[in-house]
């Protein structure tokens, strides 16, 4: 499988080169040359397969030219060593829990998969690559944990000062070794702009070989399609048509779900649920894409004003607005609505949702008002304890800290404060 830039001004590359480069030289995101549907019996018999068997069959077409089957199976065994349960809440609704990994966030799978791929690509090389990544919350911790101690890889994480939760900050600033955290005086969009600028900085390339571990990187993005297959495996006997509601920030997770649909997963529709950073919901109303500065919310991992992966989604529908609208609905919700949803879910079902999952729940409920015949799954993308103050103040229940969280809370934070791209460049050139 080869990959091309969506800007169409860069050479076609292999999966390996797409992963190592992160973003194409012309600034475009890489995209697979083809997406081949799997045979229908594969989906009918998912309940007879393990998650590792499902993952191998689904992801193989995207990586097989560069990763042999035996190595791919080893990688997937390392990556998929925790559960992905669908928890039923009502007769027509459940939530897919994606927080049972080491950093308790959905990004653990993509970060670990990419780390394993890079480790394989560089295991016999004397070269070194720097993973440069911006985070609005959970990406940083997942990447830091996934790449910790990987030979030949250094990790530099940019995060917006004061705009991630304390637990999220601890997860990306306390590990040391090959992990460095840069605390940016600005928003996530500022962090992301710096990262994108670094990738096309020809002078910087003389000092560092850069790649990214945001969902702009194909090795971080594509494995997320597996979540939807694992969920479908658990609900495929439902008589209703299946829909997914995805709390969306940078839109990589939703895009991967649409890829799962393209390889043959029989689901009816997707809902993109956002907080007040409503660039995509507005686009779905007007067909006009007008990015704007991000606004801070209690669902901070979704505080993105210009989502990188939405270009991949539009590409999947040939930039045909009507085709996209037939398969995707998008809604935005305020913090007040999010808190109300968290409390309502808890009172009605006893389930504790984090602010991001609550946004997904709201999107699903809104869609089902006019489509009550469907069975909906909203994604719980992070453990609620990662947003402890918000959850506790909203539902009035104190949560116990899981082992994964307790082990980082007493570690000392180490970060380097920066404000401008020039400071980032100086660090990368001299560190």
pLDDT (tens digit per residue) in 416-430: 999 999 999 999 998
Per-residue pLDDT at 404: 81
Using the predicted structure, report yes or no on whether residue 141 has a pLDDT greater than 90. no
Using the predicted structure, report yes or no on whether residue 123 has a pLDDT greater than 90. no
**Per-residue pLDDT tens digits for 58-106:** 999 999 999 999 999 999 999 999 999 999 999 999 999 999 998 898 9
Q: In the chain, what are the helix, strand and coil shares in percent, each to the nearest 5?
A: 45, 15, 35
Provide CB contacts within 8 A for 281, sequence distance 6+: 272, 274, 330, 331, 332
Per-residue pLDDT at 254: 97
Using the predicted structure, report yes or no on whether residue 297 has a pLDDT greater than 90. yes
- Residue 307 and residue 250 in contact, taking contact as beta carbons nearer than 8 Å: yes
Task: Tell me the pLDDT band of 365, cut-offs 50, 70 and 90.
Answer: very high
Smallest CA-to-CA distance from 114 within 217, 258, 265 is with 217
Provide CB contacts within 8 A for 340, sequence distance 6+: none
Residues in a beta bridge with 377: 94, 244
- For the residues 375-399, what does the mean pLDDT come to? 94
Using the predicted structure, report yes or no on whether residue 13 has a pLDDT greater than 90. yes
Per-residue pLDDT at 59: 98
Token pair for 389: 């103050």
Per-residue pLDDT at 128: 85
Higher per-residue pLDDT: 337 or 140:
337
Per-residue pLDDT at 150: 86
Using the predicted structure, report yes or no on whether residue 152 has a pLDDT greater than 90. no
Query: Distance between CA atoms of 279 and 255, rounded to whole angstroms?
Result: 16
**Per-residue pLDDT tens digits for 223-275:** 999 999 999 999 999 989 999 999 999 999 999 999 999 999 999 999 999 99
Average pLDDT, the chain: 93
pTM score: 0.89
Using the predicted structure, report yes or no on whether residue 18 has a pLDDT greater than 90. yes
Provide CB contacts within 8 A for 190, sequence distance 6+: 160, 184
pLDDT more than 70, % of the chain = 100
Beta-strand relationship, 93-97 and 129-134: unpaired
Per-residue pLDDT at 241: 94
Per-residue pLDDT at 410: 80
Using the predicted structure, report yes or no on whether residue 124 has a pLDDT greater than 80. no
Q: Return the CATH fold of 83-105+222-401.
A: Rossmann fold (3.40.50)
- For the residues 401-428, what does the mean pLDDT come to? 90
Task: Tell me the pLDDT band of 200, cut-offs 50, 70 and 90.
Answer: confident
Using the predicted structure, report yes or no on whether residue 311 has a pLDDT greater than 80. yes
Higher per-residue pLDDT: 168 or 327:
327
Query: Distance between CA atoms of 382 and 50, rounded to whole angstroms?
Result: 23
Query: Distance between CA atoms of 343 and 352, rounded to whole angstroms?
Result: 8
Residues in a beta bridge with 86: 96
Q: What is the dihedral of CA 97, 102, 103, 109, to 10 degrees?
A: -60
Higher per-residue pLDDT: 140 or 258:
258
User: DSSP secondary structure string, 86-113?
Assistant: EEEEETTEEEEE---STTSBTTHHHHHH
Token pair for 15: 């999966």
- For the residues 394-415, what does the mean pLDDT come to? 87
CATH 3.40.50.1100 residue ranges for the chain: 2-67+107-219+411-430, 83-105+222-401
Q: How many CB atoms lie within 10 A of CB 46?
A: 19
Cα angle: 277, vertex 391, 93; to 5 degrees: 75
In the β-sheet with 375-380, what is the strand arrangement from edge to edge? 86-90, 93-97, 375-380, 242-247, 269-274, 328-332
Q: Tell me the backbone φ, ψ of residue 58, rounded to 5 degrees.
A: -75, -40
Q: Return the CATH fold of 2-67+107-219+411-430.
A: Rossmann fold (3.40.50)
Smallest CA-to-CA distance from 222 within 273, 280, 262 is with 262
Per-residue pLDDT at 223: 97
- For the residues 307-312, what does the mean pLDDT come to? 95
Q: Tell me the backbone φ, ψ of residue 96, rounded to 5 degrees.
A: -90, 115
Least confident of 68-72, 320-324, 387-391, 406-410: 406-410
- Residue 140 and residue 117 in contact, taking contact as beta carbons nearer than 8 Å: no
Using the predicted structure, report yes or no on whether residue 301 has a pLDDT greater than 90. no
Beta-strand relationship, 328-332 and 210-211: unpaired
**Per-residue pLDDT tens digits for 153-193:** 899 999 999 988 888 898 889 988 999 999 999 998 899 89
Per-residue pLDDT at 199: 86
Using the predicted structure, report yes or no on whether residue 215 has a pLDDT greater than 90. no
Task: Tell me the pLDDT band of 151, cut-offs 50, 70 and 90.
Answer: confident
Long-range Cβ contact pairs of 315-320 (< 8 A, separation 24 or more): 315/6, 315/31, 316/255, 316/258, 316/259, 316/262
Segments in 298-395 forming alpha helices (H): 310-316, 321-327, 335-349, 355-370, 388-395
Task: Tell me the pLDDT band of 138, cut-offs 50, 70 and 90.
Answer: confident
């Amino acid at each position: 499988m080869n990959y091309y830039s969506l800007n169409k001004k860069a050479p076609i590359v292999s999966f390996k080169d797409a992963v190592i480069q992160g973003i194409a030289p012309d600034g475009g995101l890489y995209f697979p040359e083809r997406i081949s549907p799997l045979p229908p019996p594969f989906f009918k018999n998912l309940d007879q397969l393990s998650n590792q068997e499902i993952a191998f069959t689904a992801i193989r077409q995207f990586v097989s030219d560069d990763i042999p089957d035996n190595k791919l199976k080893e990688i997937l065994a390392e990556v998929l060593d925790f559960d992905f349960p669908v928890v039923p809440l009502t007769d027509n609704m459940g939530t897919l829990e994606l927080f049972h990994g080491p950093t308790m966030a959905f990004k653990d799978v993509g970060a670990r998969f990419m780390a394993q791929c890079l480790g394989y690509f560089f295991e016999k090389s004397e070269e070194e690559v720097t993973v440069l990544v911006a985070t609005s919350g959970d990406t940083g911790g997942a990447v830091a944990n996934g790449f910790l101690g990987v030979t030949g890889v250094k990790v530099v994480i940019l995060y917006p000062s004061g705009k991630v939760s304390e637990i999220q900050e601890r997860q990306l600033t306390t590990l040391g070794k090959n992990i460095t955290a840069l605390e940016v005086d600005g928003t996530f969009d500022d962090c992301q702009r710096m990262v994108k600028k670094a990738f096309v900085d020809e002078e910087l390339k003389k000092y560092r070989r850069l790649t990214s571990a945001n969902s702009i990187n194909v090795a971080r993005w594509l494995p997320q399609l597996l979540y939807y297959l694992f969920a479908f495996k658990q609900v495929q006997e439902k008589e209703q048509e299946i829909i997914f509601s995805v709390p969306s920030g940078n839109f990589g997770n939703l895009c991967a779900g649409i890829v799962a649909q393209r390889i043959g997963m029989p689901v009816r529709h997707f809902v993109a649920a956002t907080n007040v950073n409503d660039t995509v919901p507005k686009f779905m109303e007007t067909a006009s894409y007008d990015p704007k500065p991000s606004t801070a919310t209690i669902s901070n991992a979704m505080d993105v004003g210009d989502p990188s992966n939405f270009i991949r989604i539009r590409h999947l529908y040939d930039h045909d607005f009507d085709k996209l609208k037939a398969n995707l609905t998008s809604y935005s919700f305020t913090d007040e609505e999010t808190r109300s949803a968290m409390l309502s879910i808890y009172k009605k079902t006893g389930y504790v949702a984090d602010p991001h999952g609550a946004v997904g729940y709201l999107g699903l409920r809104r869609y089902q008002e006019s489509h009550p015949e469907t069975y909906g799954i909203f994604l719980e993308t992070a453990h609620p304890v990662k947003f402890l103050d918000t959850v506790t103040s909203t539902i009035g229940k104190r949560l116990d800290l899981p082992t994964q969280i307790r082990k980082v809370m007493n570690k000392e934070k180490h970060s380097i404060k920066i404000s401008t791209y020039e400071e980032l460049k100086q660090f990368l050139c001299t560190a």
